[in-house]
Amino acid sequence: MFNKKETKTGRQQAEIFRLKFQDSNICKKFRIYWNVPLDGFKNRNEYYKWDEKHVQEVNEYRKSEKYKENREKIKEKKLEQAQGKISRFDLEFFAHRLGLYDPSAKLEFDISHITLKSGKPIYWRDFIEQCLFFANPDICFPDKPLPEPKLKWSNTYQYYELIIKDIYPDTDIKDFTNRKFLKEFEKLKEKLPGFNNLEPRYRKDLDFCLKLREIDKTMPYLDDFQKYEHVTEEDLSQTTNLKQEKKIKNKVKQARLRTKKLLEEAW
């Protein structure tokens, strides 16, 4: 999810960064190590020729004895980790170091490392990669992604959690009110456990219903009229006629049904 609103300030910032970065030692060292011209490739055709050689080096490594040896070493470390001799972190660190023998992995690592050292947010990576390879990058403005809501499955609790990705140092509070973000956020929220798109209603008779439920349990021998008197704490037997008594009993029955329905909905 990208914010496509490019600004003059943003384009200017990218251009100033490019000029300073391409003149830095870190850029020059990268180009020397990876056999890129010191002033960068002038066009795509030059880059494609370099990339063909790079792919060939990757293929040669993956067919080499060194590659097989490294795979076996990683298998041995996995066994040690399974036996509790080393930690999961030790295994991952070891595998990462051996993985850098692969020219493809080494290139990706170098570009990511340089991006971190540049002091720029991670989403500048593609732009910085272009600056490393080309004299004049095709990408002239690094787009800042909007925060992105995502559903993440929890293996521990067996349900989806809603998380927000792509938060950077320059992410602004207004990015969270962007229409695209809000639309996706509301859509994913519906998939969370316990989601209910109905606003809870205020129930005026809830206290009456709950007291009645308790009396139904503790005083089942009373009739509904007597239970009503207990709930309201009123003595109505002397002032109530048969028609009014019938109406009160009906009110109690209705309250009992509403309570049952309410508790079923809550569960």
Residue-wise pLDDT for 240-264, tens only, equals 788 888 888 898 898 888 888 777 7
Looking at the fold, whether 261 and 169 belong to one and the same domain comes out as no
Is 117 domain-assigned?
Answer: yes
Cα angle, residue 32 at apex, residues 13 and 65 outer, rounded to 5°: 125
Residue 262, CA atoms < 13 Å, CB-side half-sphere: 16
Is the residue at 50 inside a domain? Answer: yes
Query: Is 3 a domain residue?
Result: no
Q: Are residues 108 and 168 in the same domain?
A: no
Range of 154's domain? 148-189
- Final residue belonging to a domain, choices 103, 133, 163: 133
- Mean pLDDT per block of 10 residues along the chain (267 residues) reads 59 88 96 96 95 97 96 94 92 94 96 94 93 86 86 84 90 90 90 69 78 88 86 80 84 86 67
Q: Is the dihedral of CA 199, 205, 209, 211 positive or negative?
A: positive
* Predicted model pTM: 0.67
Q: Cα–Cα distance between 45 and 57 in angstroms, integer?
A: 19
